[in-house]
Amino acid sequence: MGNPLRISRFLVIFFTVAALCSKAQSAPVDNATESKLDRQIKLTVRSQYNVPPDYTVTLGQRTKSDINGYDSLPITFSNGGAQKKTTMFLISKDNNTLARLEKFDLTKNPASAINTLGRPVRGNPKAKITIINFDDLECPFCARMHEVLFPATEQHYGDQVRYIYMDFPLVDLHPWAMHAAVDVNCLAVQSQPGYWNLVDYIHGHGSEISGPGGQQNVAASEQKLDGLTQQEGQRDQVDMKKLNSCIAKQDESTIRASMKQGDALGIDGTPTLFINGERATGAIPQSMLWTIIDRAITDAGEVPPPQGNSTTAPPAASPSK
């Protein structure tokens, strides 16, 4: 199989790691804590090594290692039994560090730093499963991912999942993406349903906004976006004076803050999703996305709905970069 571990990235020297943790003692772990630790180990490994979503990650028996302060932990990567590889990792005695000549902080969730305060929420606000999508409104692959999420995924999982979009317009590639992000956020201040209606429309009509034949006139595209935002605002009966002022101002600060968060997470393309911390990049097929969501639901102690005869999604595509 294609090695998901990318061994060339293993940079930290064993002796350095051991020296830093030489006084660590084994921490007592009860069943609930062990289950949480296992989940965090799997999340960390999947995130750091971009393990394909359809691969299963299985933890083996923890044993004493030759490295002071660490135990050995075999981790097996398998794909339906057809492809299988076991790689030996190290885990610190205090359960805070996973290493394989490179260490990761297990006390932090891969997506824990994402600040979603004030962002529009779609679905059940109290759902245990959160899908955070770093989105570009002009990105065709984002439009395909949006189509996979809504309505099929939303209908399939119902109240078990909530959805939050973060802004990550690729301004060097998509000339009206930033303007679109500003406009939808202007509407979100007064109407979250209006925000989602507008995001749905833009993702479904990107080629129309860009213009016929792909011959872009950016000013015309931005004018279309402003008109769409105003129309949605009128339908939602928002304060049009405030909305128009926000549209005219084109304040990018909120969008830039979201982009900064994406940069800190190493995001270099859209769409990039985090499903309860597990990262997925690109317009992945519906079946693969649902595999990740099912895993998160199971890990959260709930039962995912049967997949049944799901609608076939578009084939996987590389994210815009």
pLDDT tens digit sequence for 119-178: 999 999 999 999 999 999 999 999 999 999 999 999 999 999 999 999 999 999 999 999
pTM for this one?
0.74
Cβ contacts of 112 within 8 Å, gap of 6 or more: 277
Rg (CA), the chain: 22
d(CA 248, CA 250): 6
The pLDDT, as a whole number, for residue 205 is 96
What digits encode the pLDDT tens for the residues 295-313? Answer: 999 999 999 999 764 444 4
pLDDT at 65 over 80: yes
What is the four-CA torsion angle of 135, 137, 142, 143, rounded to 10 degrees? Answer: 140
Which has more pLDDT, 31 or 261? 261
- Supply 313's token pair: 């999604």
79 - beta bridge partners? 83
